[in-house]
Amino acid sequence: EIAKLPKETLALWEKYGADESDDKESFQKSFIRHVTTTLARSIYNIDNFSAYQATAHSVRDRLIKRWNETQQTHTEVDSKRVYYLSLEFLLGRSLDNALLNLGLKDNYGGGIKELGFTMEDVLEQEVDAALGNGGLGRLAACYMDSLATMDYPAWGYGLRYTYGIFQQRLKDGYQIEFPDYWLNFDNPWELPRLDVVVDVQFCGSVNRYTDEEGHERYAWEGGDTLQAIAYDVPIPGYGTKNCINIRLWSSKPKRQFDLTRFNEGQYEQAVYEQMQAENITAVLYPNDNHMVGKELRLKQQYFWVAASLFDIVRRFKKSEKPWSNFPLQVIMDKIHTHPTLAIVELQRILVDLEGIGWDEAWAIVTQTFAFTNHTILPEAMERWPVPMIQYLLPRHMQIIFDINLFFLQKVEKAIPNNRDLLAKLSIIEESTPQFVRMAHLAIVGSHRVNGVAALHSELIKQTIFKDFIQFYGESKFENKTNGITPRRWLHQANPKLSELITETLGSKNWLKNLDLLKGLKSHVNNKDFRKRWVAAKLSNKVRLADYIQKATGVTVNSNALFDVQVKRIHEYKRQFMNILGVIHRYNTLKKMTSEERACVVHRVVIFGGKAAPGYYIAKLVIKLINSVAEVVNNDNSIEDSLKVVFIPDYNVSVAEIIIPASDISQHISTAGTEASGTSNMKFVLNGGLILGTVDGANIEICEEIGDDNIFMFGNLAHQVDDLRHAHRYRSVPVDPSLQAVINDIESGQFGDSRIFAPLINTLTHGKDYYLISDDFQSYLDTQKLVDESYKDQEGWTTKSIMCSAHMGKFSSDRAIQEYADQIWEIKPVPVMTKKHI
């Protein structure tokens, strides 16, 4: 089409096309232009926040250019794309990441200084994009970074929540929640695509009819229609022109006003309905590893899936390829069971709208989807009541019943006369009311299923999905161990260490090939290198100590051992065990003489993490931590040998300060409960040691770094069932050290003990489901070992270096490469740089 334009027009595009160069002067020009035009301010009234906005807009201009070129290239090449469907993208801040990935940081840092600002102050102004709860959402963000960096043609699809994860504040030691209205100011990191609008239908009824060729067909008619509007979030790769897209949908009513109602005087009702439509994408559900069966959540899921599939199908149809090519052009990875309705929606599009026969359609559907499971916890398994789906999505419910019928027929044929197996495998749970088991639907509708760490992928085959192995065999199930992006989690979060590594290895190549960190091993005895390694850690600890002072008012000594546990507060993650261990330590210290205390390693125990607002026990754990902190931090008799802090509002940008500063971090879930964990990887990559159970990715980290460099303890996954059984039926005595700590709490040492009774009950009357009693003694013993090891500072430094050096495997680039080669079957598409047309 371009060829048809007159030469003069093309010449104009050539001449005036956006020339956003990357040098310092171009940045300064564009900064000033944005201050005066975009922000309508002047040199007289520009503060740090405006400076942030102007910088962000300058970077955005450059991002958009790359983003455009990427989209054009992908359209031209039109190779298979991967669509990463995730209800959560926990991106955090974007400016620093974009500056580093685009290679602009040095020029812009210098440029902004000359304009009277510092880059640190400017970066501090940005609010986090916190559209996720924890590990699952942050994994999605790391994977997008790797997909972009490795030039893969990839899209993310999610929801643009008006409110992200709540902000946590503390009052009298209790968590209180505040709404995270993150879009208060304009968001330079999204491109509103008001022209990309998709209708999404709910409710209504299904009518059967016969088409012209005499086939029986179904039409879903009536009901309410909402609109999904696209907001595109560009994700730049590191050291490449590739800049991919996350498309987030926002909901709005189809009609701005119901005019009849308006004229009848029902103005309020009309506006109310408008608000209802906007509600769908209003809020991120604040639950991690837990399902909440709210109708609004189901609506969110369908709204997101329907809009995304419409978009994907529209893109495919442009190529005019036959439907049988769909799986060759499109692969969708379902992040957990949240987008499972996409299976049903695609089957509906193919059968009802495109008129393709059921079997042919189903073959296309199953080839198109892959399913990644992120948890084994039963309370996180999604089940939706059949009547709820029937009401909201009547046609989908019929299709689910049909999918189930055909599936069970196949099972019956392969393994005849096994009613028990049929009941176990059925997508429908035959209770009153009936439920749809989303994980079953996800398995049946996908060609591959994977877990996120070796142990987890084994456990899903042995437990929650065991019955499926009987029918499918093992080949459908595999493992893809999680990874993290070294660009954000080392280069950006820990500039001092990153610089040292680059200097030592002689190039920045390790940022794209993390295995190169092995090269650090040959420097482990180099005095100067070791000195700088230790200095980097210390300066990160000073930075964290400052932050702690500001955020909590507690003064901590940067020379103490920093012991960190930051993650969502959950019983299975056992922050409770950690604080019980702290009480044990405190009372041991109190019994010591001053001389004895002079020999102990000083510790700062740092906690951070949010509890789901409705999770009563988790919230009590936060209260207990703060009550203990209050007593310990104000007890002069222990002479600073122990401090306890709870850092409020743990989020991505706080993590960037905490993680590089840790000496040891705790990943102490009951064996078999933590699917993978990803912060464990981040800590070790930054030269922090870990204290962990034999669970999730801890196991593989141990394999890589060697058991000399990690502190592992506790019962193993295969022992858990028996231990639980023993608690349930034989009422095993509580571990004596644990009993002593319980007594301390009950004596009122940390305030009114009645507050903590429900928490203590989980250990005593509640049968200790997470096996704290069984692991407590080995936990304390291992903590002692940590203290002993830390006394040998030289030995500790060696361990710290060896830890980072062996973390190559845990780059998200490795994980993405495996997904791309083995599940998605996609190839990189390098971006072709063009002039302005």
Residue in 380, 493, 517, 605 binding ligand 7GP, rule: CB under 6 A:
380
How far apart are the C-alpha atoms of 388 and 438, rounded to whole Å? Answer: 14
Q: Which letter, b or e, does each residue of 209-243 get, where b requires 16 or more Cβ atoms within 10 Å of its Cβ?
A: eeeeeeeeebebeeeeebbbbbbbbbbbbbbbbbb
- 516 makes contact with ligand 7GP (CB under 6 A): no
- 812 makes contact with ligand 7GP (CB under 6 A): no
The two structure tokens encoding residue 352: 């009802």
Four-CA torsion 45, 50, 52, 56, nearest 10 degrees:
-130
Tell me which of 338, 348, 541, 567 is the catalytic residue: 567
Tell me which of 678, 693, 762, 782 is the catalytic residue: 678
Give the residue among 800, 482, 490, 485 at the shortest CA–CA distance from 659. 490
The smaller minimum CB distance to ligand 7GP, of residues 249 and 285, is found at: 285
Which whole-number Å values give the CA distances from 679 to 565, 568, 659, in the listed order? 10, 11, 8
The smaller minimum CB distance to ligand 7GP, of residues 658 and 681, is found at: 681
In what helix (H) or strand (E) does residue 310 lie, and over which residues does it extend? Answer: helix 295-318
Shortest Å, Cβ 89 to ligand 7GP: 13
Using CA of residue 122, residue 124, residue 127, residue 131, what is the dihedral sign? positive
- 286 makes contact with ligand 7GP (CB under 6 A): no
How far apart are the C-alpha atoms of 691 and 709, rounded to whole Å? Answer: 10
- 327 makes contact with ligand 7GP (CB under 6 A): no
Binding range to ligand 7GP, per CB under 6 A, among 183-191, 340-348, 583-591, 676-684: 676-684
Residue in 145, 288, 656, 768 binding ligand 7GP, rule: CB under 6 A:
288
Residue in 332, 452, 548, 589 binding ligand 7GP, rule: CB under 6 A:
452
- 483 makes contact with ligand 7GP (CB under 6 A): no
Helix axes 527-552, 793-805, angle to 10 degrees: 90
The two structure tokens encoding residue 722: 């028996």
The smaller minimum CB distance to ligand 7GP, of residues 34 and 667, is found at: 667
- 678 makes contact with ligand 7GP (CB under 6 A): yes
Tell me if residue 374 is catalytic: yes
Total number of residues that touch ligand 7GP (CB under 6 A) = 18
The smaller minimum CB distance to ligand 7GP, of residues 567 and 767, is found at: 567
Residue 661, burial from CB neighbour count under 10 angstroms (0-12, 13-18, 19+)? buried
Binding range to ligand 7GP, per CB under 6 A, among 463-471, 619-627, 670-678, 821-829: 670-678
Give the residue among 296, 193, 302 at the shortest CA–CA distance from 247. 193
- 696 makes contact with ligand 7GP (CB under 6 A): yes
What are the φ and ψ backbone dihedral angles of 243, each rounded to 5 degrees? -140, 105
Residue in 375, 575, 653, 762 binding ligand 7GP, rule: CB under 6 A:
375
Shortest Å, Cβ 86 to ligand 7GP: 10
Within the chain, what is the greatest distance between any pair of CA atoms? 95
Residue in 92, 111, 134, 156 binding ligand 7GP, rule: CB under 6 A:
134
Residue in 374, 487, 584, 814 binding ligand 7GP, rule: CB under 6 A:
374
The smaller minimum CB distance to ligand 7GP, of residues 134 and 648, is found at: 134
The two structure tokens encoding residue 571: 């019983």
How far apart are the C-alpha atoms of 819 and 824, rounded to whole Å? Answer: 6
The two structure tokens encoding residue 487: 């660009």
- 440 makes contact with ligand 7GP (CB under 6 A): no
Shortest Å, Cβ 286 to ligand 7GP: 11
Tell me which of 348, 461, 682, 727 is the catalytic residue: 682
Binding range to ligand 7GP, per CB under 6 A, among 20-28, 129-137, 339-347, 399-407: 129-137
Which whole-number Å values give the CA distances from 763 to 571, 768, 792, in the listed order? 11, 4, 36
- In 443-531, where do the E strands start and end? 448-451, 477-479
Numbers of helices and strands, H then E, in the chain? 34, 24
Cβ 222 vs Cβ 207: under 8 Å: no
Residue in 139, 246, 399, 449 binding ligand 7GP, rule: CB under 6 A:
139
Cβ 774 vs Cβ 665: under 8 Å: no
Sequence-separated contacts (24+) of 105-114 with Cβ below 8 Å: 107/22, 107/23, 107/24, 107/27, 108/24, 108/27, 108/55, 108/58, 108/59, 110/24, 111/24, 111/25, 111/27, 111/28, 111/31, 112/27, 112/31, 112/51, 112/55, 114/24, 114/28
Shortest Å, Cβ 675 to ligand 7GP: 4
Shortest Å, Cβ 310 to ligand 7GP: 25
By rule CB under 6 A, what string of x and - marks binding of each residue 389-418 to ligand 7GP? ------------------------------
The smaller minimum CB distance to ligand 7GP, of residues 412 and 704, is found at: 704
- 782 makes contact with ligand 7GP (CB under 6 A): no
The smaller minimum CB distance to ligand 7GP, of residues 289 and 626, is found at: 289
Positions 259 through 278 that interact with ligand 7GP (CB under 6 A): none
Tell me which of 62, 65, 336, 374 is the catalytic residue: 374
Shortest Å, Cβ 312 to ligand 7GP: 23
Tell me if residue 682 is catalytic: yes
How far apart are the C-alpha atoms of 503 and 269, rounded to whole Å? Answer: 66
- 567 makes contact with ligand 7GP (CB under 6 A): no
Residue in 339, 677, 692, 751 binding ligand 7GP, rule: CB under 6 A:
677
The smaller minimum CB distance to ligand 7GP, of residues 457 and 737, is found at: 457
Cβ 687 vs Cβ 804: under 8 Å: yes
Using CA of residue 721, residue 724, residue 730, residue 735, what is the dihedral sign? positive
The smaller minimum CB distance to ligand 7GP, of residues 173 and 696, is found at: 696
The smaller minimum CB distance to ligand 7GP, of residues 53 and 812, is found at: 812
DSSP state of 353: I
DSSP state of 748: T
The smaller minimum CB distance to ligand 7GP, of residues 309 and 460, is found at: 460
The smaller minimum CB distance to ligand 7GP, of residues 88 and 768, is found at: 88
Shortest Å, Cβ 139 to ligand 7GP: 4
Residue in 135, 234, 237, 672 binding ligand 7GP, rule: CB under 6 A:
135
Shortest Å, Cβ 285 to ligand 7GP: 9
Tell me which of 93, 461, 568, 767 is the catalytic residue: 568
Which whole-number Å values give the CA distances from 733 to 629, 762, 765, in the listed order? 29, 14, 11
Cβ 456 vs Cβ 676: under 8 Å: yes
* DSSP alpha helix (H) spans, 592-719: 594-598, 616-633, 652-658, 679-685, 698-705
Shortest Å, Cβ 156 to ligand 7GP: 15
CB atoms inside a 10 Å sphere around CB 263: 11
Binding range to ligand 7GP, per CB under 6 A, among 259-267, 528-536, 613-621, 669-677: 669-677
Sheet holding 383-385, edge to edge: 383-385, 435-437, 428-429
- In 632-760, where do the E strands start and end? 642-647, 664-667, 689-693, 711-713
Binding range to ligand 7GP, per CB under 6 A, among 23-31, 49-57, 132-140, 574-582: 132-140
Tell me if residue 567 is catalytic: yes
- 451 makes contact with ligand 7GP (CB under 6 A): no
Shortest Å, Cβ 235 to ligand 7GP: 18
- 289 makes contact with ligand 7GP (CB under 6 A): yes
The smaller minimum CB distance to ligand 7GP, of residues 288 and 775, is found at: 288
Rg value, the chain, Cα: 28
Residues that bind ligand 7GP (CB under 6 A): 134-136, 139, 288-289, 336, 374-375, 380, 452, 482, 674-678, 696
Residues annotated as part of the active site: 374, 567-568, 573, 678, 682
